Amino acid sequence: MPEWYLLQEERPFSAAENMARDEYLFRLCHREKIGFFRLYSWKRPTFSFGVSQKISRAINIDFIRKRDCAYVRRITGGKTVLHHREITYSVVSSEAIFFEENDLYKSYMLISNVIIRAFKMIGLEAGLSKRKTTGLAKSNRPCFSFPTPNEIEIKGKKIVGSAQKRDKHALLQHGSIPISMDYDLYAGGSNSRRSFIEANMVTLSELSDKSGDALIEPLVKSFQDFIGEDFKSYEFGKADKNELEEIIQKYHSRDWNFCI
């Protein structure tokens, strides 16, 4: 039976290292049947944008630099996200549960239902958006300025922004669950307006008096229940160092971040 590993990383990492760690796990999943559930955070506020986005439209680099924030291009799709005070997750797997008769949409729905169950464990009634977003999905509006169909929302507002990369062998889905949001920072760094974002998203602190950490344990339990086995722990070690460092340098590079 393929093994599942939990990476619950308490130390925050840079934008480049966070994206490199997700990509490295994705590579590991191409070498064997294995799965990872990773929870992590960021050293400083970071704007990540989708692999197919043009950087000048996705983010305002001058604004971001003046506010001592970071930016990085993801290998997944989707729109611009501000990672700051949030829970960030990734699911990385080549395990059959996501591939037997499951395409990108179905695997996305499986992961969404796991996250919805975690919200319900802390008393928040999350569900899937039924809103239509004709034209918006092709725009440069940031991720949380509109919920696309089947994204997770609470009280009609988006609470999770997720993006996926998938091929015939493995998938990587990572996403953002905001604990609170600096709406002016997000709007300024994503070439958007505060009103667009604030009207369509909600944060954990706006919904509950519980701390953001209150969702961590339910997320782990919900995912563990879904895979039907206990997680093993995983830590990056010496064997990972060289390849991981190579990927980190990729995410630092202008060639990658300005490739479109």
pLDDT, tens digit, for every residue of 239-257?
899 999 999 999 999 999 9
Quick one: pLDDT at residue 148? Answer: 77
Burial class (CB in 10 A: 0-12, 13-18, 19+), 150: middle
**Lookup: tokens for 157:** 């507002």
* 108: nearest Cα among 161, 62, 173: 173
Number of structural domains (the chain) is: 1
Angle at 243 (CA atoms; ends 72, 20), nearest 5 degrees: 20
Pairing of strands 46-49, 70-73: parallel
Residue 134, pLDDT > 60, answer no
What is the sign, positive or negative, of the torsion defined by CA atoms of 192, 193, 199, 204?
positive
The answer to whether residues 46 and 84 touch, using CB atoms and an 8 Å cutoff, is yes
Rounded to whole angstroms, the Cα distance separating 93 from 1 reads 13
Secondary structure, 3-state, 3-42: EEEEEECCCCECHHHHHHHHHHHHHHCCCCCEEEEEEECE
CATH number, position 179? 3.30.930.10
pLDDT at 99: 82
Binned at pLDDT 50, 70 and 90, residue 36 comes out as very high
Burial class (CB in 10 A: 0-12, 13-18, 19+), 27: middle
- Residue 52 and residue 80 in contact, taking contact as beta carbons nearer than 8 Å: no
pLDDT in tens, 174-230: 999 999 999 999 999 999 999 999 999 999 999 998 888 899 999 999 999 999 999
Query: CA-CA distance, 121 to 111, in Å (whole number)?
Result: 16
At 237, list the tokens: 């070690």
Asked whether 53 and 135 are in contact (CB, 8 A), the reply is no
Q: Residues of the chain with pLDDT > 90: what percent?
A: 80
Query: 10 Å Cβ neighbour count for 200?
Result: 21
Specify the pTM. 0.94
Over residues 79-124, the pLDDT tens digits come to 999 999 999 999 999 998 888 777 888 999 999 999 999 999 999 9
**What pLDDT score was predicted for residue 135?**
56
Confidence band of 130 (pLDDT split at 50, 70, 90): confident
Mean pLDDT of 50-57: 95
pLDDT score recorded for residue 102: 79
| Residue-level length of the chain | 260
Residue linked to tokens 């630092």? 252
**Residue 240 structural domain:** 3-257
Nearest-CA neighbor of 200 among 137, 123, 142?
Answer: 142
Confidence of residue 138 (pLDDT cuts 50, 70, 90): low
Q: Quote the pLDDT of residue 1.
A: 55
If you ran DSSP here, which 8-state letter would residue 201 be given?
A: B
The predicted structure's pLDDT at residue 132: 67
Write the burial class of residue 145 (CB in 10 Å: 0-12 exposed, 13-18 middle, 19+ buried): buried
49 vs 148: which has the higher pLDDT: 49
pLDDT score of 43 more than 80: yes
